[in-house]
């Protein structure tokens, strides 16, 4: 077909097309071993039995206990547990140290 | 017949040779410059991913068919989005490339693109491929899996419809 038959003008594509294409190719084609390694690390991190996990749970229970007491809820202490009042600068805030029991 | 396999150098050469015509085909479907370039890039990335299974002498055909299909998909998606949001489909015209370009020319250009957008897909595909692919009708017929005579008749019909539509506008 000759140019005289052309109906539509030909536009130039946005500049830097080749560079963008290569960038996309390199970004999208992560080698499989790298992806597999990243997955393996994630599994190890989340499945590992951290030694401090239990202590964090105990502290969370203690915080809930104080919160429920301050809102007027009746709180029952578990056998062998102790709540020791700690000094607080704010009269509206009461602090307790929870000890004993499962620890 | 050559063995399957495309080297990086062949891939790059194909890009430099076909970027402009493929972009122009995609642009007439998606009517957005960046989206048209993304469509061409998608086709080249597909070719790169399948480079071990495609022969260098058929890569040209592969790219034209890919860009045509990807452009059709994007066009459908664009129209669905516009329908759901109630917004009008926007036509993004490239900046004028000469100082004598004026508002009247831009308006004419816009009307032509919108008229092409309203053509039935069978006519639009043939018209745009004959405009930009720089292939004989026989090759376009092979790309679209239709007889060679149908390419000529569809192009003729498409031009007739465009002419009639632009005359009434």
**B93-169 — its CATH code?**
1.10.10.10
Least confident range of A17-26, A61-70, B16-25, B38-47: A61-70
C-alpha B95/C-alpha B93 separation (Å) is 6
What is the reported pLDDT for A3?
Answer: 43
What is the reported pLDDT for A100?
Answer: 65
What is the reported pLDDT for B27?
Answer: 93
Give the nearest chain A residue to B22 (CA atoms). Answer: A13
A11 versus A36: which is more confidently predicted? Answer: A11
Q: Test B19 with A6 for CB contact under 8 angstroms.
A: no
Using the 8-state DSSP alphabet, how is residue A78 labeled?
Answer: P
Strand blocks (E) in chain B:
none
Q: How many CB atoms sit inside 10 A of residue B36's CB?
A: 27
Question: What percent of chain B has pLDDT above 70?
Answer: 88
Domain boundaries, chain B: 1-92, 93-169
* Structure tokens given for B145: 């899996």
* Structure tokens given for B113: 């693109």
Give the nearest chain B residue to A3 (CA atoms). Answer: B131
Q: Test A9 with B109 for CB contact under 8 angstroms.
A: yes
Q: Does B98 touch chain A (CB under 8 A)?
A: no
């Amino acid at each position: 077909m000759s140019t005289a038959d052309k109906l539509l003008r030909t536009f130039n594509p946005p500049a830097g097309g080749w560079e963008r294409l290569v960038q996309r190719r390199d970004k999208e084609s992560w080698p499989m071993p790298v992806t597999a390694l990243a997955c393996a690390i994630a599994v190890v991190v989340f499945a590992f039995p951290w030694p401090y996990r239990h202590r964090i749970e105990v502290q969370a229970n203690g915080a809930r206990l104080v919160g429920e007491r301050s809102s007027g809820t009746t709180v029952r202490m578990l056998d062998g547990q102790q709540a020791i009042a700690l000094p607080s600068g704010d009269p509206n805030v009461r602090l307790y140290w929870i000890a004993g029991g499962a620890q | 017949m050559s063995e399957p396999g495309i080297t990086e150098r062949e891939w790059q050469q194909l890009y430099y040779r076909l970027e402009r015509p493929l972009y122009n085909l995609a642009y007439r479907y998606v009517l957005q410059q960046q989206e048209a370039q993304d469509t061409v890039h998608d086709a080249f990335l597909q070719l790169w991913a399948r480079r071990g299974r495609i022969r260098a002498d058929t890569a040209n055909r592969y790219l034209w068919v890919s860009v045509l299909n990807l452009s059709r998909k994007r066009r459908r998606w664009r129209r669905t989005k516009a329908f759901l949001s109630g917004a009008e489909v926007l036509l993004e015209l490239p900046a004028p490339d000469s100082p004598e370009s004026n508002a009247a020319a831009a308006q004419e250009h816009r009307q032509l693109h919108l008229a092409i957008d309203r053509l039935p897909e069978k006519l639009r595909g043939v018209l745009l491929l004959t405009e930009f692919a720089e292939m004989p009708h026989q090759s376009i017929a092979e790309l679209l899996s239709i007889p060679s005579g149908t390419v000529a008749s569809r192009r003729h019909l498409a031009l007739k419809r465009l002419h009639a539509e632009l005359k009434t506008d």
